[in-house]
Structure 1
């Protein structure tokens, strides 16, 4: 192989080349500016390993771990700094911030009290007062907030946490107007719109930020959540795949977030494996675990996981109401139903929620539990266009319609339901059977019974058909139902019902409202009874048949 000798293989580097090499060496500022906190902490750890273990290096390492979301490691670093000689007093405030993110609110307050008085300390105490529900302290620290960006953003976040989303949006927009380079505020605004159920608007605002930072964990996750609300779980999951690709493996929070949201997007798949360890990491994890138990009809377990939680957000109040309502209805506990009604009324009657879809659903649920179905319909009618194909909504809507006597509309709504689980429920079958009977379709109600296996619920359905058909003068199916009831349970009341239905049907035959051939079936039904009155009734019917040349043999 021949080598070219036009240039020497090696030689002394020029000054310019040396400068270029120096420029290529990464600096801490470069990593931080690029939000590459993994690279920054690697460089800092290298420097610390090379005996540069001063306070400044330690504080930068803590800063990087904080921005990586590794709060436990960050806590360890800041705790070690407090033991160093000459540690700055503001380190206690930083330590308090980390403890706050770890949910160690009492410890955070204690650490913060040791720090120097500063705007950061006031903001942290402001947030802690909110966590402790201490309104007096909250207002005290609120007065110290100034018209500076950090304080105003802190105020906006408290508005957000209190579900005052429009107030938060107003602050974010004002700050953004004065500081257009603060692109991350678009994410906060988008998040507020998401909470207000304006998912399309949220997407538009979020797109502004994603154009500049397409790898943002928070922004991509919010986009996925918008897709979940606007489309379905599959569309949302597709967005989260992008998030899994771009997130740093050391960004633990992002990994937990992906796992959590995938459970939601996949309708609870792997919930019991994923959600329990995340209860203290992601606030929604407990809520979604409770929702999972509710969907599995494990109401007691749902209640056990939520009974000690004091609700602070509308979502928590709503879920608390749902759990208590479900437990109360399942076990016949009126105290729980009353608690549920109060929770629903609190949310539905609040100024921030009364005009939202969840707020109106809450008021509908409150009136449903109070059995004031005319009021239920006022609220459900106002939001029905949003839930046209939603089975649970139609289930409740149909019941309210039927309870107010609108049986034709109720029947149409019940028949829209697709869920096999709902369609197998006795309450659904009972209401649908009643609608059929009231709409003069008793044969369909009878067919509902014939499809059921023998059980206490099928027996109850039979009673409903027998009595409702009797009231509506549909004596043929009433007689058939009472006949089966009497054979299952020789109760004198069932014989009386059957006797009345058979005589009523006989009158309809005489009047020409029922075909004469039906008389043969009446006689067969009557012969199933050993009551002494049977022979007298049969004799009269046969005599009429003979006089009118009707064959009954």
Structure 2
């Protein structure tokens, strides 16, 4: 953009040899040097700042016709848009819409929508683009708007409307990137590069995709192609610094980009730089969350990341770390959610005595809560307190929980251990034939054998046509000995 304007108009050697030229040649050279570049020349060089200056000079002239001023305004908005000055471009388009003396072309609605999209005004952008002509630009913009709105069905429908043309394929690749489908984006960019070797900027996009895939060395190789031609590109230099940071350390990255001290120097000056970038650059939010974590400001870190929907591993990890820090905060220990979290932790660790310690302290708040009772009953049963576990299991009203195998298996065990094998048997018979019913029958047989109530084992053998009786049946007489030695009659058996 502005860099092309820093070079002198005439090289030192050319100005030094001008004394030897003929007067006619000198006059021609001076005339060429003093000639004002045309708009086309500025645009061809992508010198949009120079083009805007030229347009402001020629477009505001009192001698210019109304149509000339309209054309100048359209080109000024075009240059402002490509300079990233989307607010200025939007204002110009809105002024053109308000001017009733010479209505602008219908395409201006689409251009206005593009400005609104880049400013994050997605609803306004959709309303504007629908007023414009139905063309591929409209389809591409609606495609991106559907992604921003999270409308998956509409996104897929608009995907089908894309054509095999350069602009549509680049738009599709960008959506793949935004949805973390980096390999699909790489495939599109590489295919376009094979047909258009001079599209050097695509190498930056490919390098960025490889960076997201953690292929930092490959990203460096691809990025080098672009840096050979544009060594002063801020985007490419920043990406190269990020690769160095991942491959080596922060010091190596700092050598590549001196201005990014916020990231590479452990967050110095983060509060002066990063908050203004949140919402515009995705990495700004993540870096600011990391800064807050390092400062032990868990509350601010949580406020920043709580609404983030992770798409890549480091986002999942960062959100998990923040949530873990919230759960470990001392101020939350004696709250109801804090005690629930502690109980969940001990439940996963299978330390059920500790689970009951926390659940007993809050059970009065969840007397009719099926989920709480389900977990509470499991903990009771795991500590062999089957009588209370059975009572709590039977309090559950949720059909979804009651139809689960976990509920049925635990209740079956409670029935058996509480001396109610008949009810356990009836619970098994109420189940449909499935792998779960087979597992429940095995559990029933084993637990009945433990308390010398032998009924399920023969049924297991008959139902599943076992070639020989289960080994447990051979121990049946011995299992009766504890009962008979205590003066109890042997249990009834079904043959």
| TM-score where L is the length of structure 1 | 0.53
8 A contact 2:60–2:69 mirrored in 1: no
8 A contact 1:165–1:193 mirrored in 2: yes
Aligned CA distance change for structure 1 residues 370 and 156 (closer, same or farther; 3 Å): farther
Aligned CA distance change for structure 1 residues 124 and 370 (closer, same or farther; 3 Å): farther
Aligned CA distance change for structure 1 residues 117 and 36 (closer, same or farther; 3 Å): same
Q: CA deviation at 1:301?
A: 1.9
Q: Does 1:33 align with 2:44?
A: yes
Q: Does 1:72 align with 2:82?
A: no
Equivalent residue in structure 1 for 2:107, among 79, 87, 90: 90
Equivalent residue in structure 2 for 1:230, among 247, 252, 270: 247
Alpha-carbon distance in structure 2 between the residues aligned to 1:70 and 1:315: 32
Equivalent residue in structure 1 for 2:31, among 12, 21, 26: 21
Counterpart of 1:47?
58
Q: CA deviation at 1:278?
A: 2.0
2:162 aligned counterpart, secondary structure: coil
Q: Does 1:187 align with 2:172?
A: no
Which deviates more from structure 2 when the two are superposed, residues 303-312 or residues 166-175?
Answer: 303-312
Aligned CA distance change for structure 1 residues 370 and 208 (closer, same or farther; 3 Å): farther
Equivalent residue in structure 2 for 1:120, among 129, 137, 143: 137
Alpha-carbon distance in structure 2 between the residues aligned to 1:338 and 1:42: 65
Deviations 1:174-229 (A, max 9, x none): 11111112111111111100101111111110111111222323222211221222
Counterpart of 1:451?
none
Alpha-carbon distance in structure 2 between the residues aligned to 1:78 and 1:224: 38
2:143 aligned counterpart, secondary structure: helix
**Residues 525-544 of structure 1: pairs in structure 2 closer than 5 A:** none
1:89 aligned counterpart, secondary structure: coil
Q: Does 1:104 align with 2:121?
A: yes
Q: CA deviation at 1:312?
A: 5.2
Counterpart of 1:146?
163
**Residues 243-254 of structure 1: pairs in structure 2 closer than 5 A:** none
Deviations 1:376-427 (A, max 9, x none): xxxxxxxxxxxxxxxxxxxxxxxxxxxxxxxxxxxxxxxxxxxxxxxxxxxx
8 A contact 1:271–1:289 mirrored in 2: yes
Alpha-carbon distance in structure 2 between the residues aligned to 1:126 and 1:288: 29
**Residues 357-376 of structure 1: pairs in structure 2 closer than 5 A:** 370=348
Counterpart of 1:474?
none
**Residues 10-409 of structure 1: pairs in structure 2 closer than 5 A:** 14=24, 17-18=27-28, 21-22=31-32, 24-51=35-62, 52=64, 54-84=69-99, 85-241=102-258, 261-311=260-310, 314-330=313-329, 331-332=332-333, 370=348
Deviations 1:72-100 (A, max 9, x none): 22222222232242311111111111111
8 A contact 1:275–1:286 mirrored in 2: yes
**Residues 475-494 of structure 1: pairs in structure 2 closer than 5 A:** none
Aligned CA distance change for structure 1 residues 371 and 42 (closer, same or farther; 3 Å): farther
Alpha-carbon distance in structure 2 between the residues aligned to 1:203 and 1:292: 27
**Residues 457-476 of structure 1: pairs in structure 2 closer than 5 A:** none
8 A contact 1:159–1:167 mirrored in 2: yes
2:130 aligned counterpart, secondary structure: helix
Alpha-carbon distance in structure 2 between the residues aligned to 1:167 and 1:120: 22
Unmatched 5+ residue regions in structure 1?
Answer: 1-8, 242-257, 343-366, 373-553
Alpha-carbon distance in structure 2 between the residues aligned to 1:296 and 1:369: 31
Counterpart of 1:434?
none
Q: CA deviation at 1:15?
A: 8.8
Deviations 1:56-113 (A, max 9, x none): 2112111211121122222222222322423111111111111111111111111111
Alpha-carbon distance in structure 2 between the residues aligned to 1:201 and 1:369: 44
Count of residue pairs brought into register by the alignment? 318
